[in-house]
Amino acid sequence: MVLWLKGVTFNVTTVDMKRKPDVLKDLAPGAQPPFLLYGREVKTDTNKIEEFLEDHLCPPKYPRLAARNPESNTAGMDVFSKFSAYIKNSNPGMNDTLEKGLVKALKKLDDYLSSPLPDEIDENSADDVTTSSRPFLDGQELTLADCNLLPKLHIVKVVCLKFRDFSIPRTLTSLWRYLDAAYAREEFSSTCPSDPEIHIAYSS
């Protein structure tokens, strides 16, 4: 997704990680994709890979994708941990409590998406802007913050529906505006794994 947004031409090669070739075993033993090889340097941390791409694929040739508002980088940061606790829970008696924890984290993200960013507020205007209508975390365009959060939200949506019969509440209108805007962008929708692939990954 980052490479697509940067406008870089790239090839996608799929690998069965249960029968991965020796070159991958030697490249990053024990690591799960994605990882990046640059010269002899291997990066396995997703955030480090994003930082590397942002530093090396930079203006004037490539657009900068860093968020302007620091809060955008941490928005929704607790959603995936709440989801993991909910989906990995083997005690049915805990499901309601863990589901409420996930909904609370999603609501917090919805609140951020509905709150106007500084550049949405015109200090010279007589009208008070109380609700944001921006499509993405940091404004009108996708940023690294979205590249980090959106794939996780997609997994949450797909896995919870399949294994817990839980859907992200439609009352979280700003969150759904965000998801709908993201799925309408080819850079995101074309880089999402298919639902069956995600189901297989979470079925064990």
Tell me, yes or no, whether 64 lies in a domain.
no
**H helices then E strands: how many in the chain?**
10, 2
Sorted by sequence, the CB contacts under 8 Å of residue 109 that are 6+ apart come out as: 75, 76, 79, 172, 175
Distance from C-alpha of 199 to C-alpha of 133, rounded to nearest angstrom: 33
Which residue range forms the structural domain that includes residue 31? Answer: 2-56
Cα–Cα distance, 187 to 16 (Å, whole number): 23
**CA-based nearest residue to 99, from 114, 89, 111:** 89
pTM reported for the whole predicted model:
0.90
Strand partners, 43: 36
Looking at the structure, do residues 116 and 166 belong to the same domain, yes or no?
yes
Q: Are residues 76 and 176 in the same domain?
A: yes
Percent of the chain past pLDDT 90, that is, above it, reads: 73
- Residues 96 and 165 placed together within one structural domain of the fold: yes
What residues form DSSP beta bridges with 42? 37
Mean pLDDT of the chain, nearest integer: 92
Q: For 34-73, what is each residue's pLDDT tens digit?
A: 888 888 888 888 888 999 999 999 999 999 999 999 999 9
Same domain as 76, residue 22:
no
Q: Are the C-beta atoms of residues 164 and 87 closer than 8 Å to each other?
A: yes
- What CATH number does residue 100 fall under? 1.20.1050.10
> Does residue 181 belong to any structural domain of this protein?
yes
**Does one domain contain both 48 and 91?**
no
CB atoms near residue 17 (< 10 Å): 9
Total domains in the fold of the chain: 2
**Six-digit token string for 79:** 């959603």
Task: State the average pLDDT over residues 128-153.
Answer: 94
Which pLDDT band, with edges at 50, 70 and 90, does 124 fall under?
low
